[in-house]
């Protein structure tokens, strides 16, 4: 009888210890995978893999994942540095007609911050934000009036004209024919900012480019599909190259690949936009794609990744994001130009001069026109 009682006591103690250990284990496991914040983005048309605007946004998610122990849910690239921050992206249909639906999907799934990548999200975010007052929304390049710090929407903008001025100066220094071109995607004021800065930068460093006919420009179309039409971009580029241009800068999203092909086929050069497009192409496993990179002098970096990263960082570190308006400039590296292992030799002789120009812009000594329609007046006042 005593043996039975002793055995019963031992078993009881083991059961209690096992229960406590099991409870502790699952509690620790639960703590280990507890998600602190959920951050989601909806890409613009063209989606992930456009080697431009959307890919820059995706890089912002990767940076957050790496720095804050996060992972990108349902991502084929399996980005996973921990489970503290859940990140997710959704891609719209080719026409972008489901933008609002995708924003609602993320909001309904409990995401704390939802970002629409592109100005076309303006109407959609305005509607969805009203229905989800506890979710904070941000829009890249969009403008929604009458916001303040208490609003649950933040408009994230960029000084594209400042970065474009720098790559315009690069084109002006490197051109041999003294004729350079610009290809815009959709004909809207935003893209005219790129063109204005580029033209001014080229004229600033090269007096030959101040002459009529030596700066040429054309837009692909009037609707958002212009950002995903490489065939038309290629046709425009070939025409410009045939007319004597030897460097063309594009602000046309995924359409830019058409420019790169035309540059390669004619032995001329291109300047990319948003992401470091030369580096992206040079890093490809495809020999054909790598060959395109040899014809890209640099890219105007529009740091959409920085915009998404810093906005997400604010949420993670402070628990909230202020509404209103935020513009990223040369001063905070929100825009710039690309230097990498593949193009640094080509820029070696001029990089110091470009950086001097950058500092003049940062200090306010050079004020860059933010639309091509303002370039003539700007030149009359600033160029001798």
Residue-wise pLDDT tens digits, 148-205? 999 999 999 999 999 999 999 999 999 999 999 999 999 999 999 999 999 999 999 9
Identify the CATH number of the domain defined by range 37-159+306-316+320-328: 3.40.50.2300
Residue 253, Ramachandran bin (φ over 0: left; ψ between -120 and 50: alpha; else beta) = left
Q: What is the DSSP string of 307-336?
A: HHHHHHHHHHHHS----EEEEE-TTTTSEE
Q: Tell me which of 2.40.37.10, 3.40.50.300, 3.90.1170.50, 3.40.50.2300 is the CATH number of domain 160-302+333-382.
A: 3.40.50.2300
Q: Where in the chain is the domain with CATH 3.40.50.2300?
A: 37-159+306-316+320-328, 160-302+333-382
pLDDT at position 30: 45
> Quick check: helix, strand or coil at residue 162?
helix
∠ CA(60), CA(120), CA(367), 5° rounding? 70
d(CA 173, CA 347): 10
Over residues 330-339, the pLDDT tens digits come to 998 899 999 9
CB atoms < 10 A from the CB of 38, how many?
19
The whole-number pLDDT of residue 361 equals 98
Strand bridging mode 296-302 / 335-337: antiparallel
326 DSSP β-pair partners: 156
Instruction: Specify whether the backbone of 76 is left (phi greater than 0), alpha (psi in -120 to 50) or beta.
Output: alpha
Residue 43 to residue 38: CA distance in whole angstroms: 17
Q: How far apart are CA 106 and CA 40, in angstroms?
A: 7
Q: Which pLDDT does position 112 carry in this prediction?
A: 98
Alpha-carbon distances, residue 253 vs 94, 98, 191, 224, 300 (angstroms): 14, 20, 11, 10, 12
Report residues of the chain scoring pLDDT below 50.
10, 12, 17, 28-31
Q: What contacts 118, CB < 8 A, 6 or more positions away?
A: 43, 44, 45, 53, 139, 140, 141, 142
What is the model's pLDDT at position 29?
47
Would you state the pLDDT for residue 20?
53
Are 217 and 183 in contact, with CB atoms under 8 Å apart? yes
pTM recorded for the entire structure: 0.81
Close Cβ partners of 142 (under 8 Å, ≥ 6 residues apart): 116, 118, 119, 120, 121, 122, 125, 155
In sequence order, which ranges of the chain are alpha helices (DSSP H)?
Answer: 2-33, 53-67, 99-108, 122-131, 160-174, 189-205, 230-242, 256-266, 277-282, 287-293, 304-318, 344-347, 351-363, 375-382
The DSSP secondary structure of 114-136, one letter per residue, reads EEEESGGGHHHHHHHHHH-TTSE
């Amino acid at each position: 009888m005593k043996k039975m009682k002793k055995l019963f006591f031992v078993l009881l103690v083991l059961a209690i210890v096992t229960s406590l250990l099991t409870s502790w284990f699952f509690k620790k496991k639960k703590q280990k995978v507890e998600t602190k914040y959920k951050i989601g983005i909806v890409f613009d048309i063209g989606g992930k893999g456009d080697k431009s605007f959307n890919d820059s946004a995706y890089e912002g998610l990767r940076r957050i994942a790496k720095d804050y122990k996060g992972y990108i849910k349902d991502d084929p690239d399996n980005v996973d540095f921990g489970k503290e921050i859940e990140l997710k992206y959704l891609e719209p249909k080719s026409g972008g007609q489901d933008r609002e639906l995708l924003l609602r999907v993320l909001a309904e799934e409990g995401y704390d911050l939802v970002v629409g990548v592109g100005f076309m999200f303006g109407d959609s975010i305005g509607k969805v934000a009203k229905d989800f007052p506890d979710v904070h929304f941000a829009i890249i390049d969009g403008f929604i009036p009458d916001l303040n710090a208490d609003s649950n929407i933040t408009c994230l903008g960029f000084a594209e004209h400042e970065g474009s001025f720098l790559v315009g100066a690069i084109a002006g220094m490197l051109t041999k024919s003294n004729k350079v071109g610009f290809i815009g995607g959709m004909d809207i004021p935003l893209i005219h900012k790129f063109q204005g800065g580029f033209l001014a930068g080229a004229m600033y460093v090269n007096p030959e480019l101040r002459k009529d006919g030596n700066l040429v420009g054309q837009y692909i179309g009037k609707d958002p599909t212009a950002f995903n039409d490489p065939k038309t971009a290629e046709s425009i580029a070939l025409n410009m190259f045939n007319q004597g241009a030897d460097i063309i800068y594009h602000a046309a999203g995924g359409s830019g690949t058409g420019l790169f092909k035309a540059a390669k086929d004619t032995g001329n050069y291109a300047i990319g936009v948003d992401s470091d497009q030369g580096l992206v192409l040079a890093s490809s496993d495809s020999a054909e794609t790598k060959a395109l990179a040899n014809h890209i002098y640099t890219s105007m970096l529009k740091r959409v990744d920085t915009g998404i990263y810093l906005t997400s960082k604010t949420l993670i570190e402070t628990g909230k994001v202020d509404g209103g308006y935020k513009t990223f400039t040369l001063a905070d590296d929100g825009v710039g130009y690309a230097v990498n292992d593949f193009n640094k030799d080509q820029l070696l002789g001029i990089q110091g001069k470009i950086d001097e120009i950058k500092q003049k812009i940062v200090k306010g000594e050079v004020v860059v026109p933010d639309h091509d329609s303002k370039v003539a007046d700007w030149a009359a006042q600033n160029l001798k």
